[in-house]
Structure 1
Amino acid sequence: MRIALLPGDGIGPEITREAQRVLEALAIPGLVFEEALVGGAAYKAVGHPLPPETLNIARRADAILFGSVGDPECDALDRHLRPEQAILGLRKALTLFSNLRPARVYPGLVDASALRPEVASRIDLLIVRELNGDVYFGEKGMRTTPTGAREGYDIMSYNEDEVRRIAHSGFRAAQARRGKLCSVDKANVLETSQLWRDVVVELSAEYPDVTLSHMYVDNAAMQLVRDPGQFDVIVTGNLFGDILSDLASMCVGSIGLLASASLDAQGKGLYEPIHGSAPDIAGQGKANPLATILSAAMMLRFSLGLPDEADRIERAVEAALNGGARTADLGGSLSTAAMGDAVLAAL
């Protein structure tokens, strides 16, 4: 089983190192790592955020463990050379269209949530976000209006095949959980969202065991704060999913706890924490590695067919937290490596 290890920028190398340590501690026969440059680190080394060699390593891997990309020193580059284009390029090149972002509150961290304990304790949801369409990949540019003013534009679009593909992912995820799917859109304003809603409704006939509801994205954001326990699975587009999943992270206590999987139709995936590169704390040993460790657990479950090993990692993370292990984002003082040690000890 070949793992492409892409640490990337900022805190990426620190957090992926801890996830690799946990995976190696499981002593899984035949598990090998192949590391490559990506993001700003790749641009500085070879002049492109997603070099051909990195893409080739990702293509031949069974799964990809990704750290983070983003480097303030690269912010002035042309858009196609910025570090963030690496993750967008990987998603597009490998057709990683289905992004799974679970969010639940660990019993020992209820007080870390920005919500009241009785509200936070009910959070156990999954956001299924489409990754290959929307304004992120639509036509975009700068132009001049007839009056001479500068105008930026980004076109949002989905075709029905793209919506149907991600809707299947949402319905199947709901079948594997509590049987409730909430489709989030903005159909009262956007034609793109109206098509989204129409296709999801059409597809619901194939999943009679799933209860389907719809919610406008602004209301969904409010409801995630007011009553997050009402949600089981949320399926939504690229832009709305990006925003809502970060909101969900603060509902559970820290963005350093949320893992994610980006899957193709066959189950090959890229696994990464949902937080960014955090350049302000890079190299200081302050980053929380748990989201990356939990992403590694998702990798074992969804791409490598090792659910028992995935369960072991998740139980070890919970045991470490229940034992009081805390990095700075959780109000503690453990370093990145020390948090990794706590998970290894529990494992």
Structure 2
Amino acid sequence: MIKVKKRKVLLLPGDGIGPEVTTEVKKVINWFNDKKSLDFEIDEDLVGGSSFDKHGTPLTDEVFYKALESAVIMLGAVGGPKWDGVEFSKKPERALLKLRKELKLFANLRPAICFEQLVNASTLKPEIVSGLDILIVRELTGGVYFGEPRGIKPIENGERKGVNTHTYTSSEIIRVARIAFDLARKRSNRVISCEKSNVMEAGQLWKEEVQSLHDKEYKDVELSHMLADNCAMQLVRNPKQFDVILTDNLFGDMLSDEASMLTGSLGLLPSASLGAKNKDGEMRAMYEPIHGSAPDIAGKGVANPIASILSFAMALRYSLDLDKEAEALEKAVQEALNDGLRTKDIMSDKMKEVSTSQMGDAIISKLQ
């Protein structure tokens, strides 16, 4: 078993705007090394489409082994229309799925926080989103994205059939539910578990296992169940009713993207993908902004680096046990926004539009 190096940070900028936003994260890491005498060991390599272009594969064995020994993986973004014609097994996104699966990163944390300064950037009324603070806990290595059998095969009459299997085991459900309950205890102590138990046996199992775990170990946490389609509606009707949302891989993918838009921009929100801790308390984890590679604005210097920078704040908190530093970085982001600085995606009247690097520099200046 390859040992995790406690302070090793692997930067995988990826494609599109990934390298631009990751550059700002690297500046932040170097600031902590220089000014706070932290000893982060930074490595950087290719992933996704950029790796395919050079090596013919979206994730080389060398990069995968680097990931195995890293405490923190900072991913930029992968994919884009350039690689639409690539065979499925070599598409840029397969690198992301392999990292999640092989590193056993089973719990995806996606906060949806509406910054006070950006209430008017949301498409919903200010009174609906003001003060919003939701945490979605999404199971990441099971369900329909990984279930077998899968594939496309010819059938009679010249037709083809596509098959994906939605499957969960009790242990897969219990381990991610435990993460949600533990996090809820540090927040408002409420969990809403979402599935489709009315039409899916896997959803029925999900509901039963979550309820059973709650009754055995987490009776102090308020638990309720909600069908995933109702949750989608409630997120735009009354989002502040939620604290922690626990859900599976497929529904978590959809609900977290919906929740992110309540805040005004995909460029604002981070995510963490966590594995289990070993006997030494070490844990592998990958952190990434939830936005995509946005090839239409790549290279223009207008991408919002806040989601990537806040992803590193999550790394400081969850992987490196540096809560104080995480809080300082989050506060620096807030103060840069307080100064009226905005990248193009969140620009509004009477604010000052800044570039990707200018926003990164402003956040670092607030750390000073």
TM-score, normalized by length of structure 1? 0.98
From 269, 285, 301, give the equivalent of 2:317: 301
Q: After TM superposition, give the deviation of residue 246 of structure 1 in Å.
A: 0.7
1:259-270 to 2 correspondence within 5 Å? 259-266=270-277, 267-270=283-286
Other-structure match for 1:161: 171
CA distance in 1 between counterparts of 2:183 and 2:158 reads 49
Percent of residue pairs identical: 51
Other-structure match for 2:362: 342
Deviations 1:199-250 (A, max 9, x none): 0011011101100001111110111111110000001001101111111111
Local SS of the residue matching 2:124: coil
Other-structure match for 1:317: 333
CA distance in 1 between counterparts of 2:49 and 2:186 reads 38
Other-structure match for 1:2: 8
1:142-153 to 2 correspondence within 5 Å? 142-153=152-163
Other-structure match for 2:46: 37
Number of aligned residues: 347
- Do the aligned residues in 1 keep the contact of 2:115 with 2:131 (CA within 8 Å)? no
- Do the aligned residues in 2 keep the contact of 1:97 with 1:166 (CA within 8 Å)? yes
Deviations 1:313-343 (A, max 9, x none): 0000011111111111102531111111221
Structure 1 unmatched runs, 5+: none
- Do the aligned residues in 2 keep the contact of 1:328 with 1:334 (CA within 8 Å)? yes
Deviation >3 Å, runs of 4+: none
CA distance in 1 between counterparts of 2:359 and 2:27 reads 12
**Residue 224 in structure 1 maps to residue 221 in structure 2:** no
Deviations 1:94-134 (A, max 9, x none): 00000001111111111011110011103111000000011
Q: After TM superposition, give the deviation of residue 75 of structure 1 in Å.
A: 1.2
Q: Match of 1:84, as an amino acid? A: E
Q: After TM superposition, give the deviation of residue 252 of structure 1 in Å.
A: 0.7
**Residue 67 in structure 1 maps to residue 84 in structure 2:** no
CA distance in 2 between counterparts of 1:122 and 1:295 reads 20
Local SS of the residue matching 1:84: helix
What RMSD in Å do the two structures reach over aligned CA positions? 1.0
Q: Match of 2:233, as an amino acid? A: M
Deviations 1:11-56 (A, max 9, x none): 0000011011112212342111000110000011111101001101
Q: After TM superposition, give the deviation of residue 145 of structure 1 in Å.
A: 3.2
Structure 2 unmatched runs, 5+: 1-6, 278-282
Other-structure match for 2:225: 214
Q: Match of 2:327, as an amino acid? A: D
From 200, 203, 222, give the equivalent of 1:190: 200
Q: After TM superposition, give the deviation of residue 71 of structure 1 in Å.
A: 2.7
TM-score, normalized by length of structure 2? 0.93
- Do the aligned residues in 2 keep the contact of 1:36 with 1:57 (CA within 8 Å)? no
Local SS of the residue matching 1:147: helix
Other-structure match for 2:4: none
CA distance in 1 between counterparts of 2:116 and 2:338 reads 8
